[in-house]
């Protein structure tokens, strides 16, 4: 312990005693009815090294038991969870949050300065209304768009899974399905995410998870406005079945006058048409990868002009430029006939094309009532006939 039980009475009076921990929704678990064990002054805080009340609980079925790691004073100074040390508002590491909000909070590291700083922060916490963070975080300006894009919309309960069974990795685990640990192949030991430190997470330095998220933020796509200035419609995808017209209007009316909202329940999407191009551009900038309604993150894209829609439909694309799937059961497109270099004349009588066509004299029968004409050419005299 940092202080003995009898030598320093002042520090002993400032030991933390609380009735409930400060936790995020992920660490608390999805079960609303959990049982916690409370141990007064059970361990020392891993940041300030002062004794505090330790809580231990199981967040769900087939999950590992979790406990608080830091005291509530250190938690309130950074507005983080006492267990995972992630930000309570965005669910992100402290390094990512401070980078997005342009905060440079230099907490002292030495024991004496740290104790003095902690006592001043406790006094500030007691004098505040407990609705806003204290310190540099309480003086920060509005968050950047990067935090809203990286923040999780729903809790990540997969983080509460048990650790990997080391005996199973060596092939010596005999518990089978009763083993409380996971029987999975461990990750690569050279992976930077396998080496995490709780103090680096709290002070916001050398955090591999934060470095991964910052790299992802730098490579995130952007929504550029189309060149056609007449387009003032935004496409909203992934609505689900419970999103209504009024909820969309309540989220988008602040960016400009809305001319029309068209809901397509079959495709779970909507089209929002603004009265001005400026309002549409502002709405696209403020809601791209940040729009969350009823716990669902919605996709925001620009609409397309009527000429582009007709061209895409002819080429096999829908209104948003996505390729259309072929309908099963329909015949495929017939191939074009082979091109002939020289079109051969029609041979209706199956004559030999190498021989010249023979001249044929075809005489038509005379009209009725007229004698038959003599045959063309020479006239044959039959001569005298013998009469008997």
Return the HEC string of 31-99: CCCCCCEEEEEEEECCCCCCEEEEEEECCCCCCCCEECCCCHHHHHHHCECCCCCCECCCCCCHHHHHH
Q: Which of 33-42, 46-55, 166-175, 213-222 has the lowest mean pLDDT?
A: 213-222
The predicted model gives 280-291 an average pLDDT of 85
pTM: 0.60
Q: Is the pLDDT of residue 232 over 80?
A: yes
Give just the sign of the alpha carbon dihedral 151, 224, 237, 248: positive
Q: Which of 41-50, 61-70, 185-194, 210-219 has the lowest mean pLDDT?
A: 185-194
Provide the pLDDT for residue 329.
Answer: 62
The predicted model gives 323-346 an average pLDDT of 61
Mean pLDDT of all residues belonging to the chain: 78
Greater confidence (72 vs 109) lies with 72
Nearest in space to 41 (alpha carbons), one of 61, 74, 63, 68: 68
Can you tell me the distance from the alpha carbon of 74 to that of 81, in angstroms, rounded to the nearest whole number?
Answer: 10
Provide the pLDDT for residue 55.
Answer: 95
The predicted model gives 208-234 an average pLDDT of 85
Helix (H, G, I), strand (E, B) or coil at 359: coil
User: Edge-to-edge strands of the sheet including 51-57?
Assistant: 37-44, 51-57, 66-67
Nearest in space to 86 (alpha carbons), one of 214, 211, 210: 210
Provide the pLDDT for residue 139.
Answer: 63
Greater confidence (272 vs 10) lies with 272
To 10 degrees, what angle do helices 208-218 and 94-101 make?
Answer: 40
Residue for token digits 């609980």? 57
Banded pLDDT at 5 (limits 50, 70, 90):
very low
Provide the pLDDT for residue 271.
Answer: 92
Burial call 278-294: b when 16+ CB within 10 Å, e when fewer: ebbbbbbebbbbbbebe
Give the CA diameter of the chain.
176
pLDDT tens digits for range 27-68: 999 888 889 999 998 899 998 888 999 999 999 888 999 999
Banded pLDDT at 128 (limits 50, 70, 90):
confident
pLDDT tens digits for range 293-326: 887 888 888 888 765 555 554 555 555 455 556 6
Concatenating the DSSP letter of every residue in 298-358 gives PEEEE---HHHHHHHHHTTB-TTSPBPPPPTTSPPPPPPPPPPSSPPPP-TT---TTSPPP
Can you tell me the distance from the alpha carbon of 18 to that of 70, in angstroms, rounded to the nearest whole number?
Answer: 13
Give how far the C-alpha of residue 144 lies from the chain's centroid of Cα atoms, to the nearest Å. Answer: 19
Paired residues of 273 in beta bridges? 233, 260
Query: What are residue 125's phi and psi, to 5 degrees?
Result: -65, -40
Greater confidence (345 vs 261) lies with 261
Total residues found in the chain within this entry: 388
Banded pLDDT at 388 (limits 50, 70, 90):
very low
Contacts (Cβ under 8 Å, ≥6 apart) of 367: none
Q: Which of 109-113, 134-138, 349-353 has the lowest mean pLDDT?
A: 349-353
Can you tell me the distance from the alpha carbon of 120 to that of 207, in angstroms, rounded to the nearest whole number?
Answer: 27
Can you tell me the distance from the alpha carbon of 72 to that of 323, in angstroms, rounded to the nearest whole number?
Answer: 53
Q: Are strands 299-302 and 233-237 parallel, antiparallel or unpaired?
A: antiparallel
The predicted model gives 228-241 an average pLDDT of 87
Q: Which of 65-79, 232-246, 364-378 has the lowest mean pLDDT?
A: 364-378
Concatenating the DSSP letter of every residue in 167-195 gives HHHTT----GGG-SSB-SPPPPTT-GGG-
| % helix, strand, coil for the chain, step of 5 | 30, 15, 60
Banded pLDDT at 222 (limits 50, 70, 90):
confident
Provide the token pair at 379: 């006239």
Greater confidence (237 vs 386) lies with 237
């Amino acid at each position: 312990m940092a202080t003995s039980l009898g030598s320093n009475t002042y520090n002993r009076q400032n030991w933390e005693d609380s009735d409930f921990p400060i936790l995020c929704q992920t660490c608390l678990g999805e079960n609303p009815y959990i049982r916690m064990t409370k141990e007064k002054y059970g361990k020392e805080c891993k940041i300030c090294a002062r004794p505090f009340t330790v809580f231990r609980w199981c967040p769900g079925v087939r999950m590992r038991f979790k406990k608080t790691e830091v005291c509530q004073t250190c938690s309130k100074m950074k507005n983080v969870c006492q267990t995972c040390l992630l930000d309570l508002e965005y669910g992100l590491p402290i390094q990512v949050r401070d980078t997005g909000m342009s905060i440079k909070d230099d907490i002292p590291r030495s024991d004496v300065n740290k104790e003095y700083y902690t006592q001043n922060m406790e006094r500030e916490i007691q004098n505040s209304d407990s609705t806003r963070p204290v310190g540099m975080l309480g003086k920060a300006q509005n968050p950047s768009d990067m935090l809203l894009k990286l923040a999780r919309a729903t809790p990540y309960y997969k983080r509460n899974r048990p650790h990997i069974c080391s005996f199973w990795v060596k092939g010596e685990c005999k518990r089978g399905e009763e083993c409380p640990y996971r029987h999975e192949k461990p990750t690569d030991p050279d992976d930077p995410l396998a080496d995490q430190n709780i103090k680096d997470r709290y002070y916001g330095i050398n955090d591999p998870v934060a470095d991964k998220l910052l790299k992802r933020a730098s490579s995130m796509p952007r929504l550029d406005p189309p060149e056609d200035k007449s387009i003032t419609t935004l496409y909203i995808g992934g609505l689900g079945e419970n999103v209504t017209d009024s909820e969309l209007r309540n989220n988008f009316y602040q960016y400009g006058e809305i001319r029309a909202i068209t809901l397509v329940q079959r495709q779970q999407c909507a089209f929002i048409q603004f009265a001005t191009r400026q309002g549409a551009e502002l709405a696209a900038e403020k809601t791209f990868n940040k729009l969350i309604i009823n716990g669902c993150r919605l996709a925001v894209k620009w609409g397309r002009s009527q000429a582009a829609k007709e061209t895409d439909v002819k080429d096999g694309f829908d209104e948003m430029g996505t390729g259309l799937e072929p309908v099963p059961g329909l015949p495929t497109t017939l191939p074009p006939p082979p091109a002939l270099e020289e079109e051969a004349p029609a041979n209706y009588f199956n004559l030999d094309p190498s021989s010249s066509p023979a001249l044929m004299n075809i005489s038509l029968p005379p009209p009725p009532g007229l004698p038959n004409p003599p045959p063309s050419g020479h006239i044959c005299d039959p001569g005298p006939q013998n009469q008997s």
